Amino acid sequence: MLAQAHPEDISKLLIIDTLPFYGLVFNPAATVENVTPQAKAMHDQFVAIPNDQFAASQPLFTSGMVKDPEGARQVSASSIASDRTVFANAMLEDLETDIRPQLAGIKTPTTILYPYEAAQGPVADVTALYTTAYATMPNLHPIHIDDSRHFIMYDQPAVFDKAVQALS
């Protein structure tokens, strides 16, 4: 969004496992309209859950996003320590934002790093999720990072560092 609003200030972009519309994770045909009720319910659940239950749920939740045990511990601890209302509001805002219509106007050279695990199915299917989501964005260079989940920097730190350094 920053590159679209201020192209003169951005010379290149690095996107790490982020889609232009988060709802696509749940359904490739998702729209803001059909994701909003679920997003609001998730928001309300995150805000209402008692602190002890939230803390107890985080290790299970983060294990789906981080393979590395120490990375998962750090992500869980950070989540538990964060302001849950801010967390829930940010998640809701993300789920209700679809920037795909603006992608064609973003000319900035962009690399997207996205995770891949064999359990997800064929790498071509995972790649299709990202390349389809960003299909109208020129100058996109997608790179999958094997044997990782959402937090690539914890699961494959050397590969992640190499990919970041290649951009400088």
Do 44 and 85 share a domain, yes or no?
yes
Helix (H) or strand (E) holding 52: helix 51-63
Final residue belonging to a domain, choices 55, 75, 98: 98
| Residues of the domain holding 66 | 22-98
Could you give the number of structural domains in the chain?
2
d(CA 168, CA 140): 16
**116 shares its domain with 48:** no
User: Quick one: 46 and 88 in the same domain?
Assistant: yes
Q: What is the pLDDT of residues 22-56, one digit of tens each?
A: 999 889 899 999 999 999 999 999 999 999 999 99
- For position 168, what pLDDT does the model report? 76
Are residues 6 and 31 part of one domain?
no
